[in-house]
Structure 1
């Protein structure tokens, strides 16, 4: 399953996108096209921010950048871990393989991937298809650290061109 986390306008479009927004958005579009062409299930996770957040439900920033097809579930969440208080776990068979991409590397991507691993799922985090904002350090360094942590926890990483469905 391709799991797209918080691929929302507030992160991947101006006025305040993540630093690598153009390349990350293109990488996600490539993954989405490949998954759909191969008939691989796609699930979307969407952050539902508070009333003053850029991703508050119903605002332009809350909208997904790419349009889900009929039958592709969209899971709204309020916590970084997409498994927490959602039905994401109900969509997965035991020991599913999740190909993960999305926003924000050190928050929602990290938390969701760690929970998936703890639940016995295989996780592949796609390098170049997840990102975050600069936060005292360059965003690419934060994303790289998350990749290293997840590999140490049992995930694998792969470049977009290495992903097949």
Structure 2
């Protein structure tokens, strides 16, 4: 295992960050190093700095499970710093590639709320809730919740 991954696993984010910044200098186009450098900035609460490294990871064509994580974490970071349209764009790009990733869909629902697209936000969240819950009460009313999810302003 790489030293920086062990440091991250041990939650030694500052030490991992110092090591990863040196590695980025040596290999600026390495998508995995850029990804983990972003992770350390994220863990340190420095989302604005993390963004550039997540973007570099995508530009350098990171692949596999880390690519999927990059979309989620970049989208989340954009939302955290108030870059709502960028968040929406990156999450929608990620959802095209990973349509079954529910975390991306939830973050997308959150940013739709931030963009005052509340109906789309709630519709998506209700759909995710109904499809993933193990709560017996939600399961019991799942058909009604699903039916009403895109009719939130409608009355009968």
User: TM-score, normalization: structure 1?
Assistant: 0.30
- State the structure with more CA Rg: 2
The structure whose residues are more often strand, as a share, is: 1
The structure whose residues are more often helix, as a share, is: 2
Query: Bigger relative contact order, structure 1 or 2, given CA contacts below 8 A and separation 6+?
Result: 1
